Structure 1
């Protein structure tokens, strides 16, 4: 009499696991594809605002993480000049980056304003060899 309960519970657990894996697959696939486009944003912040600049990246909403085609980001601090940073983002392609820049999420992520800066420069690159 109880064998059907065991079968039902086992089937329910298997379906839940399969559904959970199916939900994860698209984002994992997106992250597994190698990036083809990179941005390098050179930022020189006003002296004394280095910690604030770093904390903004650590605490921000991370809206970029949900952007289609986004692969990852690194914030690098210069080894000899503490107020110089390089923000490097990796994208599936240039179209994904352009779509992010034109999105409402981009505007939300940058709405608060920023840390006082001395200089900023954005460079973009295509990955041509590994």
Structure 2
């Protein structure tokens, strides 16, 4: 069973590019985590201000192991903090919620 975790992040209009840049700087950071199956950062194409971080996991235990890992804590610090500097003056997102789903149906598409 694949578990889907969605982090819905509300981002001010002038901060979306910075959010994408920060995610690009961490690309691949979770790829080797046991039970990790995939990741997408979804940018709104309408007037919404909520970006979606969609991850797929083998199970809840795999997701929780990552959330409680040093790699998670390291990856959620800013690039400046990871390099030994100060945290940014303000976070990119102003609100965030994590949603949890399991796949109940669908289609593989034609690719």
**TM-score scaled to structure 2, two decimals?**
0.76
The whole-number CA distance in structure 2 between the counterparts of 1:68 and 1:57 is 20
Q: Which has the larger radius of gyration?
A: 1
**Secondary structure of residue in 1 paired with 2:30:** helix
SS at match of 1:48: helix
More helix by share: 1
Distance 2:10 2:44 in 1: 10
- The root-mean-square deviation of aligned C-alpha atoms, in Å, is 1.9
Where structure 1 has 5 or more consecutive residues not aligned to the other structure, the ranges are 1-34
Moved runs in structure 1, 4+ residues, more than 4 A?
none
- For structure 2, the 5+ residue unaligned runs are 79-86, 107-111
Q: What does the per-residue CA deviation read over 1:88-117, in whole Å, with 9 as the maximum and x for residues that have no partner?
A: 000111110010000010011012267432
Q: How many residues align?
A: 96
Structure scoring higher RCO (CA < 8 A, sep ≥ 6) equals 2
